[in-house]
Amino acid sequence: MTATTTTNNKPSQPKLRRFLLARHGETNYNKEHRIQGTLDDGVFLNYDGIAQASALGVYVAGRQLGPPTKDMDASSDNDAGGSDRSSFESPITRTYCSPMQRCRQTYAAISGVCSGHMTLAHTELCSPQHSYHPLPEPIILPSLREIELCEWQGRLRRDVAVNDAENWNIFKSEPTRLRLNDGTFAPVLDCWERGMANWEKIRSESVNEDAQLVFIMCHGAIGQAMLLHSLGMDVELYGKSKRFAFDNCDCFEIEWCDTEMTSRRWRRVHPMEGKWETCSSTKNMYSSSGLSSSR
């Protein structure tokens, strides 16, 4: 990405922006261990999924409290132990959501909490010293849809594992080699390319709109692809480590400078808040383990 410019057409200081990347709540298909993929009709949040979405909403609502502070520029502390929420209080001002019903339902539940439509303890945190920022309406981005698993969609996992064992074993051991639809479609590679394109669009628009904190509601597979992209990892790492996997309503935070190809640092923030980890340390860890960390 290129440097931003001011109204005087002079280059401005590149900024650090943060992105919250989250998966939807549990669905009826998740509960049944049934493959969803891009199926939408008949797939919806169950009671546990709604509860998970509400809990994520409490976390997101906490990010909407407090006055925006000074912009973070690229000269800010770059160490994993550097600036945290106390020095980055800008609220979420731009949001994106998959068009699929399960993501829309999750987003609606989160937004409901943030708007004070639910009686939750976070409303007691408001004080005269703080302002509250409602979650904006999401931009529906079709390329945030889940991985497309063709003829597997709607089937139980155990059924596919038994009746299409060869492909299932490839999917579990070497997912980039999987070919469905009579061998003509590569689901993981397609998802990976969409993940890269999503970042190009979202980051560019975030710069144009000067959004410092962006929330993205998506799915497990596309979320993992986007997380790995942000860290500069290779597609061969997809599906190989639980550290990058998204359970229902998991949320990761990514800090990224406008002009850099890979993010500065990342962490899981929900349901448990983890420590920041630099992109370089993560890449080094997986390079030493024999897994590629270059695009």
**Is the dihedral angle over the CA atoms 210, 212, 213, 214 positive or is it negative?**
positive
Helix 187-208 × helix 220-230 angle, to 10°:
60
Contact 24, 52 (CB under 8 A): no
Q: What is the spatial distance between Cα 215 and Cα 213, in angstroms, rounded to a whole number?
A: 7
- Confidence (pLDDT) at 6: 46
Q: What is the spatial distance between Cα 106 and Cα 44, in angstroms, rounded to a whole number?
A: 10
SS3 sequence, the chain?
CCCCECCCCCECCCEEEEEEEEECCCEHHHHHCECCCCCCCCCCECHHHHHHHHHHHHHHHHHCECCCCCCCECCCCCCCCCCCHHHCCCCCCEEEECCCHHHHHHHHHHHHHHCCCCCCHHHHHCCCCCCECCCCCCEECHHHCCCCCHHHCCCEHHHHHHHCHHHHHHHHHCHHHCCECCCCECHHHHHHHHHHHHHHHHHHHHHHCCCCEEEEEECHHHHHHHHHHHCCCCHHHCCCCHHHCCCCCCEEEEEEECCCCCCCEEEEEECCCCCCEEHHHHHHHHHHCCCCCCC
Percent of the chain with pLDDT over 90: 74
Which residues are CB-contacts of 158 (< 8 A; sequence separation ≥ 6)?
33
The amino acid at 179: R
- Confidence (pLDDT) at 81: 52
- In the block, residue with structure tokens 């132990």: 81
- Confidence (pLDDT) at 98: 98
Q: What is the spatial distance between Cα 248 and Cα 52, in angstroms, rounded to a whole number?
A: 7
- In the block, residue with structure tokens 């969609």: 153
pTM of this prediction exceeds 0.85: yes
Phi and psi (nearest 5°) for 34?
Answer: -105, 140
Contact 236, 230 (CB under 8 A): no
pLDDT-flagged residues of the chain (< 70): 1-12, 66-88, 117-131, 288-295
The amino acid at 4: T
- Confidence (pLDDT) at 116: 76
CATH number of 16-288: 3.40.50.1240
Cα Rg, the chain, nearest whole Å: 19
Give the full edge-to-edge strand order of the sheet including 94-97.
139-140, 94-97, 213-218, 16-23, 251-257, 265-270, 277-278
Q: What is the spatial distance between Cα 141 and Cα 289, in angstroms, rounded to a whole number?
A: 35
Beta bridge partner(s), residue 18: 213, 255
